[in-house]
Amino acid sequence: MSYDKRFDGRQFQELRKMEAKVGVVPSAQGSAMFKIGNTVAIAAVRGPREVRPRFMQDPTQGLLRCHYNMMPFSGHGDRVRPGGGRRSKEISMIMEQALRPVINLQDFPNAMIEVFVELPQTDAGTRCAGITAAAMALAHAGYEMKDLVTSVALGKVGNQIVADVNYDEEAYEGEGGSTDIPIAIVPSTGEVTLLQLDGEVTQEDLKKVIELGTKAAADIFAVQQQALKDAFKETA
């Protein structure tokens, strides 16, 4: 049977309801919350601070370090093991790579900027929500950036290309299965800073994924922008 209707009733190109806010962690240099559907990411920025050990310092530019963590019982009833596992380390590295192209690190030689991302509630798309929140937190902290980064979990579920997959779609076991495709985009240029495939798709389908991701990114970018505008409006 083909996948002709989404489990939650959305259109195939429709995103879940989004919320965003910055300044949610007062003790951090910058912070942000991004919620999409039932996935919630909170990002807090610290630094710059001196890199230790010193042999890891770079005299030409600073380092960006991300720390990704899903809280225990954040998902569908299964307890997430506390502490940094292999998956969290991999996603932390992916987040760094997705964000690094937009932030000016040349102003911070031998120093490090850290972004801590916590997920208290998850329903798929966690790395994408984390990247989106982290970009807002970096902007809220006042670092020089070329642009924000927006990220969304796309997928091929059965025979359909869909935007913003949820847990049920990730776990789809019907005809054609499910392929998870996280993507991150720089809105002003369309540059893709993250594209992963958990499965197989044709070249034609991949083109459709990138087109859909670009459209979805524009909607997410508007939410990011509004959250930052609201914050600076309050302090004006």
Region 103-130: mean pLDDT is 94
The encoded tokens of residue 200 equal 């197989």
pLDDT, one tens digit per residue, over 81-101 is: 656 688 899 999 999 999 999
Count Cβ atoms below 10 Å from residue 152 Cβ, excluding itself. 27
- Whether 19 contacts 106, CB under 8 Å: no
User: pTM to 2 decimals?
Assistant: 0.93
CA 111 to CA 132: how far, in whole Å? 23
Return the closest-CA partner of residue 41 out of 156, 159, 126, 141. Answer: 126
- pLDDT score recorded for residue 2: 75
Return the closest-CA partner of residue 19 out of 42, 1, 50, 47. Answer: 42
Q: How far apart are the first and last CA of the chain?
A: 56
Q: How does DSSP assign the chain, residue by residue?
A: ----S-TT---TTPPPPEEEEE--STTSSEEEEEEETTEEEEEEEEEEEE-SSGGG--TTS-EEEEEEEEPTT-SSSPPPPSS--HHHHHHHHHHHHHHGGGB--TTSTTEEEEEEEEEEE-SS-HHHHHHHHHHHHHHHHT--BS---EEEEEEEETTEEESS--HHHHT--STT-EEEEEEEE-TTT--EEEE--BS---HHHHHHHHHHHHHHHHHHHHHHHHHHHHHHHHH-
Region 42-69: mean pLDDT is 90
Q: How does DSSP assign 155-176, residue by residue?
A: EEETTEEESS--HHHHT--STT
pLDDT, one tens digit per residue, over 187-230 is: 999 999 999 987 788 899 999 999 999 999 999 999 999 999 99
Higher pLDDT, 204 or 4: 204
CA 116 to CA 29: how far, in whole Å? 12
- pLDDT score recorded for residue 68: 95
Residue with tokens 């964000």: 99
- pLDDT score recorded for residue 201: 87
Average pLDDT of the chain is 91
- pLDDT score recorded for residue 98: 97
- Whether 182 contacts 154, CB under 8 Å: yes
Task: Please report, rounded to a whole number, the percentage of residues in the chain having pLDDT higher than 90.
Answer: 72
- pLDDT score recorded for residue 16: 97
Does 1 have pLDDT greater than 80?
Answer: no
- pLDDT score recorded for residue 154: 95
Could you tell me the domains of the chain? 18-235 (3.30.230.70)
The encoded tokens of residue 134 equal 């982290």
